[in-house]
A and B are shown apart, each in its own frame.
Chain A
Amino acid sequence: MSSPVPITIEQLETPGRRHAREIIIKGAAFLAALVSVLISVLIVFSLFREAWTFMSQIEWAKTWGEIGWFPRRGIYDVPTLLVSSLIVTAVAMIVAMPIGLGAAIYLSEYAKPKVRKILKPTLEILAGIPSVVLGFFALTFLAPNVVARIGGDAGGSLMAAGMGVGILSIPLVASISEDAMRSVPRELREASAGLGARKVTTTTRVVLPAAVSGLVAAFIVAVSRAIGETMVVFLAGGATDAAIFNSSPFDGGLTMTAAMASLASGTDSVVGEGLTFQSLYFVGLMLFLITLVLNIIGNSFVARVREKY
């Protein structure tokens, strides 16, 4: 470290170079913060602009009903995508909620500090695994070894994709719900134990109800994450390029995100009938709005937990 330069009274009194530097730095930091606003504006602008072109030019009569999603032939049946997305999300939550919550309860209420210190980072490794990798795992391992045994196809299916997305969501569910349970004051647990309650009673009747907004937040944020997940459903969802309407988890289907990915990865990229390119932005806008609403609700639940205790 260099030796400190003494500061004179004049320097402190007059707005000199030090003062000018402060203003410049503050301005630069403000501009950096503004970049986020700019990005948001650009996202909303591009989505709305192209989606508007799509919506104003499409033949709506041809678009709704149980037809399917064939963008290159000009058939854009939105419910086909929505139903597939919902099926994947439902399967994912059935996998992720109990397992994530169970892991969280164990880490927060039962694990000794030393054990926790090892297990928690290990669980975080699962969070760091890229979703393409889980897509590969879902298609090459889960589909033939798990889905095929419970009555499905050994190839890709919404079930396999849902399981993959579920595994992906476990760390997210676990970390939000663990935070919520750890923020429950110790006194509540001690009071419960003092009344003679067993550990299991304390956990299920005292800690879980006290942490309920955090658990709801974990659920909502995980749903939002599952709807927006792309690579697992794209690789393991079992439908490429186009899909007919399907409401069975054991068949292949095209979710909103997979529809976008497969349209963009076609050999000729995004060409086809006139509005194919714009349809990407229309689906993107739906996805953006759905996840935005879910995230706002989820965040407000997280905020409630933090304020309460």
Chain B
Amino acid sequence: MAFTQPLVSANDRQRIEANVTGSRVDVAGAAFKGLLMLALAFSLAVIGLLIATVVVDGWDQIGTRLGGFLNGTLRSLSDSDRLGVHQGLYGSLWIGVFVAVLAFPIGISAAIYLEEYAKQTRFNSFLQLIIRNLAGVPSVVYGLLGLYLFVNDGWIKDNITNGRSVISAGLTLAILVLPIVIITAQEAFRSVPSGLKEGAYGVGATQWDMIRTQMLPYAAPGILTGTLLSMSRAIGEAAPLILIGAISGGLTANPGFTDLGALDERFTAMPILITTWTQNSGRDAGFSTAAAAAIVVLLVFVLLLNLVAIILRNRFENRRSS
């Protein structure tokens, strides 16, 4: 039996339709959405403004004498045509090398232990807790640790670091990024499908065979992303270096980038140059330009590392989800 008569009269139907789809504007909703977009737009505008400010401020140095600026040395006056960041680049480069050589292998091994070997014991959950908390320790505190361990008198100073040197800085920043490397590597390992692991065991692989041939290759992009981010963190970090005594004057002439002899001498790094030049800009306004130019140089390295890391992560996320 079919309804011959509609349940709702045509008149009512029109009224209901008008109520549901009608042209009333959701004012509160639109205002809310507008506020949210404003918040996001503000954040993005800050990035743009910041980059524009430093490029404009630093143009006198990077636009007109980029080569001289990159090869120049520390000077007491900003208008010297030999002013530049070479010594800072040397320090930052070698800090990066220390981080790569020390923090990455130790961090990745620790992550392998925690994800693959560690059983659910109290000690291992304690380890997890320690690592998570270490990641939240302010970077100045790592500077205090570096000052205590590597710079103060003692066996380490006499035999390894020679006090306030690139070696001390590299060791301190390697310690600083270690927890970040461990945490990101752990996350990468956790994303490995258990089918891969079981498959490896099924054909007679030992645990290490499985880790080497299945887990590490699968997690490699994730680990790479994490290591790139922590590398950029280390290169941009200034607070610990101030504590362990990076300086901005009285350094010896430019060492070559492969000159190992300068590793145990007094040092500086890009973030320290920026700090000191910013502070000196009250006395000598030209240092503000120099600081902005040094920021541009630093940002090129740091943002490039970040960009590559983000692109890598997005690419691999897409590939796996499809």
Residues in A lying within 8 Å of B, measured CB to CB:
4, 7, 12, 18-19, 21-22, 25-26, 28-30, 32-33, 35-37, 39-40, 42-43, 46-47, 50, 98-103, 105-107, 110, 117, 119, 121-126, 128-137, 139-141, 167, 170-171, 174, 198-200, 203-204, 221, 224-225, 227-231, 234-235, 240, 257, 260-261, 264-265, 269, 280-281, 284, 287-288, 291-292, 294-296, 298-299
Contacts and interface: CB of A to CB of B under 8 A. Distances in A.
Interface in B112-133: 112-114, 116-118, 127, 130-133
Contacts of B206: 18-19, 21-22
A46 B148 contact: yes
Nearest to B144: A284
B314 A121 contact: yes
11 contacts: A33-B118, A39-B134, A101-B39, A102-B38, A124-B310, A129-B303, A132-B278, A133-B50, A134-B50, A198-B28, A229-B138
A132 B43 contact: no
A136 B291 contact: yes
Contact of B40 (A119, A134, A198): A119
B295 interface: yes
Interface in B129-166: 130-134, 136-145, 147-149
Contact of A264 (B33, B147, B299, B311): B147
B38 to A, nearest CB: 7
B191 interface: no
The winner among A42, A125, A139 for most chain B CB atoms within 10 A is: A125
Contacts of A117: 314
A99 B43 CA distance: 8
B134 A287 contact: no
B39 A141 contact: no
In this complex, the member of A110, A130, A139, A295 whose beta carbon has the largest number of chain B beta carbons within 10 angstroms is: A130
B113 A32 contact: yes
B306 A124 contact: yes
Contacts of A33: 109-110, 113-114, 118, 127
B43 A230 contact: no
Interface class of chain B by DSSP: helix
A115 B292 CA distance: 32
Interface residues of B, number: 90
Contacts of B49: 141
A299 B298 CA distance: 32
Contact of B33 (A50, A110, A130, A131): A110
B126 to A, nearest CB: 8
Contacts of B203: 4
B42 A231 contact: no
Contacts of A294: 136
A21 B127 CA distance: 24
Contact of B306 (A101, A125, A235, A295): A125
A50 B148 contact: yes
